[in-house]
Every structure is written in C-alpha cells, then in structure tokens.
Structure 1
Amino acid sequence: MEAPNRVPPRRLSFQPANEDHFRLLNCRHGLVLIYNRTRRRLLVWDPITGDQHHVAIPVVFHNFLLKTTEVSGAVLRAGKDVQHFKVVCVATCYDDVQAALAYVYYSETSSWGELISTPIPRLTIFDTRISWDQPAVLVGDALYWLLTGGSEGILEFDFEKNSLAVIQYPVDVYRDQLTVIRTYSGALGFLHVSNFTARLWERKPDYDGVPSWELGRTIELDKLLSLHPMKLYPIIRGFAEDNNVVFLGTAMGDIFSVQLQSLQFNNLPQTDVRSYVHPFESVYTGDIGGERDRAKLF
C-alpha cells in the first residue's frame, strides 16, 4: 500500500536466534504465531506494536511415550478485546489408536485449559498428522486444519462446544491441491485445484439438517492468470480468510492473489519456489510509518 498506509518492512522483520529452529504457524487478527521447535515454546507476536509473548507448549506435546507428531496451532483475539488472545495448540498422536489432541491457552489468565481429544479413523498404514503447510482457517466459532497421511480429512476445533471432530471431504478430491476456506456466505468450504481448474466446495445442511459437501463455482485459471509461457500448473500457496483471497504459485516462483468473488487477480513479486504465504491482516490507524506513537488497533 502507499504511504501513509504502508506498514514499514522493519515492523514485519523477525530476527530469531541463530541456534533456534522456528516454524511460522498462523497469522490472525493482527497477531503472528511462531513455534520455536528448539525451545518447545510458542511466540505470539504483534508486529505493529512489537509486543511478544512466549508460551511453553503443554508437556504432553513433547512426551515421546505418546508418539505425538509435529505441533501446530492458531491464534486469535475475541471481538474488540485487543489486550488478550487465545492460542489453540494441536497435534496428533498414534500408538494402537490414532487421536487428535488440543489445548487452549488464555492470555488473560496465562494458563492452558484442559486436554481435549478425539479419535481419528486410520484409513491407511501411515500415521495421520496435521498438515504443517496449511494454516488453520477460522469459520464462525471453529478452527479447521487439514489432516494428511493415515486419515485425510479436516480437523475441527469448536470453541462453543470445546470439542474436536474429524470431517471427511469427498472421496474423489485429491488432497495435495486443496485448502480450507471460509466461503462468501461464511460457511466452511475448501478450494480444490486440479491442473488449471479450481473448484469451490461448500459444506451445507440438507433438508434433514445434516451437513454435506456441495460443489459451487468452477474457475478456469489458465484463462484468468498471466501464467508462465511454459504453462506450469498453479499450486496453492495460502489463503486470506478475512478477504477471501487465495494465493497461487508456480514452480518458477510466480505468485498470484485471486479474490474468489470478484476473480480480481494480482501478480505479486516472485519468491522462493517452496514458500508458503501467510497473509497478515490487521486494522490500524493511517499514520503508522512514524516511530513517535505505537499503532492503535481497533
């Protein structure tokens, strides 16, 4: 964006210690969630104000006897309360049975809640894990992650019910080119990309009130995007839930943003071919470029 609405690049520059290994998990409500794999703790960072909060992950997630997989998570702020936040920390564990585990951290009390778990059906010999390259999407009062490996589907954490559940998507959908989205109507959905065709699916209740998947819009990407002359297939790189924008890339490093209602697209600067886009969305006052005052979030 143009000045004075441009966020200075130094505000979004994170400098980790050289010996530590980090993974960016999620961006939401003006906050960034980072997992320090070396120290086994989470960092909740507000790039606009510079505030940082370090939270040790629950012990169960690094108990090797439980055979837990890589930790994932999501951060959010409730309504207009910009002082406090919640973090949902999730992982899968496996032994004789597979299960998903979750804890909720409340910054207001600086404490974790109770352990929440749900069994995961094992459909193959492989162990199920939460997809690390697909951040959670917030839809209503629930967070959703993609599952991959032994049981492919969508993991749901419902704040209102304080519960976990696994939702299967249509069996003929190929998992590698799929991302969970919040549809224009505010429902759970996913975008499936196959070759140059993108299909939008939405989870809707039927006449009996039982939710099921319904195929919606189909988008011909080769007619929409300024693709490389080699016509490389587009790859899903990220999703901005607040603005319903998907980010697509190619093996040549091209990155595009596509607004799923208007189909307006933009070519973004090329980046590393392995990069995943974590959209940072926030509301702030216009004069953010100066160092006199910290930005006020609404």
Structure 2
Amino acid sequence: MAACLRCRRRLPLSPPAAPLEDDGLLSENLLRLPPQPSSLPRASAVCSRLLSDPAFRRRFRIHHRGSALLLGSFIHYPGITFQPAPDAPDRLPLEQFRLKLDDHYIALGCRHGLALFFLPIRLQVLVWDPLAGHQLRLAVPPDFEFQGAKGDISGAVLRAAGDVDHFRVVLVGCDGEQPRTALACVYSSETGVWGGCVSTPIPSEGLFIFRGEPAMLAGDRLHWSVTVAGSRGILKFDLDRQSLDLSLLPGDYYTPLSPEFTVVRAEGGRMGFLFLHRFIAELWSTKRNRDGVEIWTPGRSIELDKLLGLNSEKEPPQMIGYAEENNAVFFRAADADYMVHLESLQFNKLPKTTVGSYYHPFETVHTPVPSLRWRIKFWLCPLYNCNFGCHIPH
C-alpha cells in the first residue's frame, strides 16, 4: 500500500478488478483539465485504465474542441525538421517528432494531431501520429500513379469531431493528361480502403500546380491554393458531398503579377483570403448578396511594418505558413520569422529559417494518454476524490 502524501489515505498500487464507483467522478475531473501537457495528470493504474478508454478520449477532444494547442511546426526545406512552439514545461521532446525514413518525402500538412507526408519515389502517403508513435503507409490509388512534371499531388488528413480512433486522407492531384482534370480520392481508416475518384475539369491547358501550401479546412470543405496557367485559384473538396470544384480568385487578384495570397479562416469559420502586397496584408471574405450569390468583400488591412517593427525600405515579408486552428499566419522578414494571430494581432518572433522553407503547424487537442512521459505540474489523487493535488508514487 502507498499513502497519499497530504491526506495520508492508504492507496493500492494496482487497480481493482471491478470498476470503481468513483470512475464517473474521476472522468468528469479529468475532462476539465486544460489540454496543455504541463497540466495533464501522471496517471496511476486506475487513471491509466480510464484515460486509455476510447470513449473518454473522444469526450476529452469534444470538450476541448476549439482550443487546439500549437505544439510546433514541421519546417520543410531543406529536408524536414520540427521546431517546438511552447516554452517549458509544455515543450515536447524533439525525439518524438523525428521521422526516420529512408526515402525522400514531402510534407503535405497536419491536422487533428496527425501529420501527412508524400513519398513520390514509392508513390505512397504516410500518416503519422507523433504523440502515439503510430505510422501507416498507403499506396496511392491507381489513378494517382503519375510522377514528375506530368502531374502534381497534394492531400490532407483529418478526423471527425471527437473521434480518436479513425481518420480520413483526402488525396488531390492532376495527371497532366488532356483534357485537363483535377482528381480527388478519400481513404477511410474505418474501411481500410480508398473510395472512388471524383474529378473536375481544369479550364486551361497551362500548368496546374499546387503552391506547396497545405489544405485549409473551413466547415465541411478543404481548400487548396493552386496556380492554373499563371492565374491563381482555389481547389475545393466538399467532404459531405464528395465533390470537387475549381474557382479563380476575384477580380485582378488572379493576374500573374497579383500579390501573394493564402487561404485562411474568415469570421464565422468561413473560407477567406489573406493577400500580401509588400508590407500590407489584406483580409477578404465571402458573403451572399440579395440574390443569394456569393461575392468577395475586402476586410481589414494589417500594416506589417508597423505591427512587427519592420524597416519598410528593406525586402518585404513573405507568407510561409498558416495555423488554421489558431488562425495565425507565419511570415519571413529580413531579420526573423514571425507568427501573427489574425484576430488579436499578437505575434511571436521566431528563429529565421532558410529561404524557401515552409511551416506546417502541428496543432492538436491533447488526449491524456498515460504512455506519454511528460514532466507534470498537476498531480491527481484518483481513488478518493482528493482535491489537494497529491503525488501518488508508482
């Protein structure tokens, strides 16, 4: 028997065979823990049983939906490295985010605690859960077996709200054949197979290129920034309808000399754009007019030189990443990289990366799985509803 260090109650070191009457109360207490690693409990054997329960983990994710923590970013080029975001004690060990592969691989994006990579040599995609240490390689569907200048591939990974057991991979691409079409196909971990492909015509015989940016999820649609024969557009995949659509940017914003842009979440969770012209970042969003037609409207402008204290006589910043759950854009300036939160305009100064690098933010609501060995500030006495924050020896 072990004793609680403050309340001196005697606690068993191994879990009882039968479920405890306090499991319901313990579940409610754990559910209210913040998602940061430093606030998660070091579970005793009883906590381990509860925290490993898929139903509880699903409830934990639903409870903290909308409060995803930015743990860091995979930085692509040259190679792929991981840059942790939070300061100690929330900083996670780098070893947990080192992907050991023999093949050259390309980061496609991260979402819901999963990361997606493309291995062009093997024509495979890799789904990786760094926190659980799980990996799954998938051969691309037969319609996506094209390489090099003849075609281009991108994709996204996501889970349903609160689902910690299953995920979907959406693969999109263009095969380079005539007539030009864009393709999409969905893999479900629930069925273990790829579904049928859907397509949409590309209204040009010029190059169709994914711009290296990960997809942005707004509502039930994924959005990719693409370039079509020098014009800029958005490829949209509707997850519910399983439909694909390509549209160009409004007005003069799709000319070859148009400013930089990235797809972002606008007010109300809708799709929006952030255009960058030198030091001015301009937010656009959509709304429906009186006839029910969706039109583009400009929003506020952000003067980055004033916000970040940049010298407007130097090279203007570039957009190099977007964190959709935190609604934050990454910029590379002359002196450093910056992460700017679009709603609050608060920003963080980051180490400067190599020219050509791109941020793939890794955001997740932590599921408190006891196998993760983090330094913990909060301790829980689970069996007797002790509220003193007791340390239970293992």
Shift of 1:220: 0.8
- Name the CA distance, whole Å, in 2 between partners of 1:269 and 1:152: 30
Shift of 1:288: 8.3
- Name the CA distance, whole Å, in 1 between partners of 2:258 and 2:156: 21
Return 5+ residue gaps in structure 2 as ranges: 1-85, 376-394
SS in 1 for 2:151: coil
Q: In the alignment, which of 216, 220, 230 is matched to residue 141 of structure 1?
A: 220
Quote the residue 1:296 is aligned against: none
- Name the CA distance, whole Å, in 2 between partners of 1:220 and 1:3: 32
- Name the CA distance, whole Å, in 2 between partners of 1:269 and 1:289: 28
Please identify the structure whose Cα radius of gyration is greater.
Answer: 2
Shift of 1:97: 2.0
Tell which has more relative contact order, 1 or 2 (C-alpha 8 A, sep 6+): 2
Q: In the alignment, which of 17, 21, 24 is matched to residue 104 of structure 2?
A: 21
Shift of 1:11: 1.2
CA deviation string 1:209-256 (max 9, x = no partner): 111111001111111113368622010000000011000003x46210
- Name the CA distance, whole Å, in 1 between partners of 2:213 and 2:152: 13
Could you tell me which amino acid in structure 1 is paired with residue 232 of structure 2?
E
Q: In the alignment, which of 94, 97, 117 is matched to residue 34 of structure 1?
A: 117
Quote the residue 2:278 is aligned against: 195
SS in 1 for 2:217: strand
SS in 1 for 2:364: coil
CA deviation string 1:161-189 (max 9, x = no partner): 11001122123125561100111321110
- Name the CA distance, whole Å, in 1 between partners of 2:113 and 2:258: 29
Percent identity over paired residues: 44
Shift of 1:153: 0.7
Return 5+ residue gaps in structure 1 as ranges: 293-298
Q: CA RMSD in A?
A: 2.3
Quote the residue 1:295 is aligned against: none
- Name the CA distance, whole Å, in 2 between partners of 1:267 and 1:46: 28
Shift of 1:149: 3.3
Quote the residue 2:357 is aligned against: 275
- Name the CA distance, whole Å, in 2 between partners of 1:83 and 1:154: 31
Q: Is contact 1:4–1:287 with CA below 8 Å preserved after alignment?
A: no
- Name the CA distance, whole Å, in 2 between partners of 1:41 and 1:286: 29
Q: In the alignment, which of 231, 235, 248 is matched to residue 331 of structure 2?
A: 248
Could you tell me which amino acid in structure 2 is paired with residue 56 of structure 1?
A
Q: Is contact 2:146–2:175 with CA below 8 Å preserved after alignment?
A: no
Q: Is contact 2:224–2:236 with CA below 8 Å preserved after alignment?
A: yes
- Name the CA distance, whole Å, in 2 between partners of 1:141 and 1:38: 32
**Larger % of helix: which?**
2
Does residue 86 of structure 2 align to residue 7 of structure 1? no
Could you tell me which amino acid in structure 1 is paired with residue 267 of structure 2?
Y
Q: Is contact 2:259–2:277 with CA below 8 Å preserved after alignment?
A: no
- Name the CA distance, whole Å, in 2 between partners of 1:47 and 1:144: 25
Quote the residue 1:226 is aligned against: 309
Could you tell me which amino acid in structure 1 is paired with residue 242 of structure 2?
N
